[in-house]
Amino acid sequence: MQIAPTDRTTVRRQSQRASYERKLVDAVIDEALSCHVGFAIDGRPWVIPTIHARIDDVLYLHGAVANHMLREISGGIEACVTITLVDALVLARSAFHHSMNYRSVMVFGRATIVDDPDEKWAALHALVEHVVPGRMAEARPPSDAELRKTAVLRLPISEASAKVRTGGPIDDPEDLALPVWAGQLPLSTAYGSAVSEPDTVATVPAYVTGYRRP
């Protein structure tokens, strides 16, 4: 399924790296642990990092009810959510052509407050599961008081695009004979051994010892 490009999502620089494939957009969103939310208030730009989760074709964000960002975005201000995964450092023979291999997504739209209790609960469940799959089967669910203190926003994934770079450096022909190493340095995220709290009574669960991103 393709997402119809708009003026905001059309990739113009290195357009051959653009993708409007919904499956790729969803995969990047699901793999990333966090995102950045950008918006403007009275002409002043703001960019705030936060945690996200996706359910079908909706991106969910959350925070405290008093959170400045959530108040402004939910008031109808256009927002832009960006997500980037870096896959490799790309070292060229010239400084100019150094780069990175990456997968990135941009989502534009107007976020709205989730008022429906069932949708809000589902979104908060998805947010925890997005970070640590399997956790909500064991963790205490939020109380009514905690739910009242938490705001959840929904942003439809209807105006979005992805951009991907793969492969090695693109050196100039006259630089190919230089005695300089060129190539890729792949990146991966590694997780260390779990550190239990001194007063915990439970053993480390398998979803922690075997933690992986999708």
Instruction: Render pLDDT for 115-155 as a digit per residue (tens, 0 to 9).
Output: 999 999 999 999 999 999 999 999 999 999 999 999 999 99
pLDDT at 108 over 80: yes
45 to each of 21, 68, 83, how far by Cα in Å? 29, 13, 18
Task: Please report, as a single letter, which amino acid is at residue 85.
Answer: L
pLDDT at 71 over 90: no
Cβ-contact 208, 130 below 8 angstroms: no
pLDDT at 70 over 80: no
Tokens of 21: 């494939």
Count CB atoms within 10 A of the CB of residue 144.
Answer: 8
pLDDT of residue 68: 78
What are the extents of the domains in the chain? 15-171+182-209
pLDDT at 213 over 90: no
pLDDT of residue 93: 98
Mean pLDDT of 155-165: 96
* pTM value > 0.75: yes
Instruction: Render pLDDT for 6-61 as a digit per residue (tens, 0 to 9).
Output: 999 999 988 899 999 999 999 999 999 999 999 988 888 999 999 999 999 999 99
What DSSP state is assigned to residue 36? E
Share of the chain above pLDDT 70, in %: 100
Across the chain, what does the average pLDDT equal? 93
- The CATH number that domain 15-171+182-209 falls under is 2.30.110.10
Count CB atoms within 10 A of the CB of residue 193.
Answer: 8
